[in-house]
Structure 1
Amino acid sequence: MTSPTPSPLRVAVIGAGAVGCFYGGMLARAGHAVTLIGRAQHVQVFERDGLRMQTLSFDEQVPVAASTEAAAVAGADVVLFAVKSPDTEATGEQMRPHLKAGGLVLCLQNGVDNAERLRAVLPDVDVAAAVVYVATEMAGPGHLRHHGRGELVIEPTAGSARLVQALMAAGVPTEISDNVRGSLWVKLILNCAYNALCALGKLPYGPLVERPGVREVMADVVAECRAVAAADGLTLPGDVDLAVRRIAETMPTQHSSTAQDLMRGKPTEIDHLNGYVMRRGAALGVPTPANRVLWTLVKLTEPEGPR
């Protein structure tokens, strides 16, 4: 086990699914006081047995506190905000009366505008965006399965440095970047390239890219995303094409969050992935036909009902 940092944090994870449970669990394992806030089926198991973390390097039951209520963020030094993108504003409103003065809210979400949307409903709160590179799933109630990676890139805010120290000590590779917006766009491009195709093909990333035509479609999607980002004045850090290839190499057994949502009969975040690129492209005069087709096909596959 990793050693606790000298000053343990009180951490709340709101939206304790696969991503939130991984980072909350790593902090809990390192000695921080972590409360997982999520669905009743998971909370019941967390309260009874703790969080089962089945990772590439260990398989343990990690003791945590748990709740189904947003009010459980009370007293937290750090809130890991991991709800689905369509729920950002509503969840922010629910937890606003309970947030600790001077605390940090870290967005661990897909999409590029969640931190901005959250700041609009939490104007007096330290909100930081983060780019998440981790392959995880909830394999059952209270059971996290980790398929690979786990890095975070966090924007600098008042509370970022202390959290980065805690994450690094907990075994989570973390860096602070002045270009998180660019990094979020690179992550958006990765999601646009993989998520819909993985969901529609019902294949994990490794086998997916070996199917005929997939790499070519992904290249079309990436080219459109690049064009929209350029029109929006963004600088994309690193080698985007290499980052796209590395996803299949480093997470070959992972199913995308979009695929996991559809397998569970839930709405997806596609409006905030390919749908976001499509809308931003329309606003900037950049055609995005490949992204539009993937967005449309996923929307046709989603369960009917209110969003």
Structure 2
Amino acid sequence: MKIAVMGAGAVGCYYGAMLARQGHEVVLIGRALHVDAVRTLGLRLETADFDQRIGLAASTEASAAKGAELVLFCVKSTDTEAAGALLAPWLEPQALVLCLQNGVDNAERLRGVLPQEVAAAVVYVATEMAGPGHVKHHGRGELVIEPSSGSGALAQALAEAGVPVEISDNVRGALWAKLILNCAYNALSAITQLPYGRIVAGVGVAEVLRDIVAECVAVAEADGVRLPGGLDLAVRRIPETMPTQYSSTAQDLARGRASEIDHLNGYILQRGALRGVATPVNRVLHTLVRLLERKHAETAA
């Protein structure tokens, strides 16, 4: 099938490349620096099992999505509506748009912009852009996908490409579970500029993680979310399965870019305030990351 990746950062490039390796026609839509590198040399996908350059199309324009049967929507949560509006004139009526984003409300927000079918997905993958046109995979890669008219064929295509997939009727709960993992680790990694494995070795970190998660769970329960089981185990597994991974928030700050912190710990603050649940630990983390963002912006100016 023809597949467009809207927002070809580390996550989009990884899944796009895995599908391209199986013979699908993939076009990456992203920043000029990466697009130029992919057009010249192909996309380099570096994993523990292989290091390969993959030839695929790349563009800086949303019009490249014309004719796509599937769109992997991978932009930052801050850009959801704007990117959806750019895509809207070019999408086929029957195209399926799969949200591979952090946060819990992107699919709902995107449905307000696009008439096409939009499905939410939960992403568990450790990747980074190691350079222009070079994505490095550090671990995992599974997806949890919301049922849709095309989810069966999509799951088969992804599985054939080496991507484990689960179709779940509780994607909202899975999205919240992923949000809680992000709230636990993203800000800490960003503030310290340390990978997950080194973070958990710090004195007092286990207690901080416990407090972050407890606040998030209280907000989720007040919001009527049905969280899946095994959350505590999932929190412990992050540094075990991704010990060398820096959070996306840490990578954004290191590159001087605005992060998604408002859609992570900031979202917990918002929902907690609405539901009358106190979230002081998440507030501190959100505030510190926002201060670092301002510091980097002032330094760059």
Instruction: Give the structure-2-normalised TM-score.
Output: 0.97
Alignment of 1:20-99 (within 5 A): 20-99=12-91
Unpaired runs of 5+ residues, structure 1, are 1-8
Equivalent-residue separation in structure 1 for 2:207 and 2:39 (angstroms)? 47
Q: Which residue of 1 aligns with 2:101?
A: 109
Equivalent-residue separation in structure 1 for 2:223 and 2:138 (angstroms)? 34
Alignment of 1:1-307 (within 5 A): 9-122=1-114, 124-302=115-293, 303-304=296-297
User: Tell me, what secondary structure is at the counterpart of 1:171?
Assistant: coil
Query: In 1, are the aligned partners of 2:256 and 2:297 still within 8 Å (CA)?
Result: no
Shift of 1:286: 0.4
Shift of 1:78: 0.3
Q: Give, as a single letter, the amino acid of the residue that structure 2 aligns with 1:118.
A: L
Q: Note the alpha carbon deviations across 1:53-93, whole angstroms, 9 max, x for none.
A: 00111100011100000111100000000000000000000
Q: Give, as a single letter, the amino acid of the residue that structure 2 aligns with 1:172.
A: V
Query: In 1, are the aligned partners of 2:173 and 2:227 still within 8 Å (CA)?
Result: yes
Shift of 1:201: 1.1
User: Tell me, what secondary structure is at the counterpart of 1:129?
Assistant: strand
Q: Give, as a single letter, the amino acid of the residue that structure 2 aligns with 1:248.
A: P
Shift of 1:162: 1.1
Query: In 1, are the aligned partners of 2:129 and 2:135 still within 8 Å (CA)?
Result: yes
User: Tell me, what secondary structure is at the counterpart of 1:234?
Assistant: coil
Instruction: Give the structure-1-normalised TM-score.
Output: 0.95
Equivalent-residue separation in structure 2 for 1:41 and 1:86 (angstroms)? 21
Unpaired runs of 5+ residues, structure 2, are none
Query: In 2, are the aligned partners of 1:103 and 1:159 still within 8 Å (CA)?
Result: no
Q: Give, as a single letter, the amino acid of the residue that structure 1 aligns with 2:174.
A: S
Shift of 1:238: 2.3
Equivalent-residue separation in structure 1 for 2:262 and 2:125 (angstroms)? 21
Q: Give, as a single letter, the amino acid of the residue that structure 1 aligns with 2:118.
A: V
User: Aligned residues: percent identity?
Assistant: 68
Runs (4+) off by over 6 Å: none
Q: Note the alpha carbon deviations across 1:260-299, whole angstroms, 9 max, x for none.
A: 0000000000000000001100000000000000000000
Equivalent-residue separation in structure 2 for 1:128 and 1:150 (angstroms)? 18
Shift of 1:304: 3.7
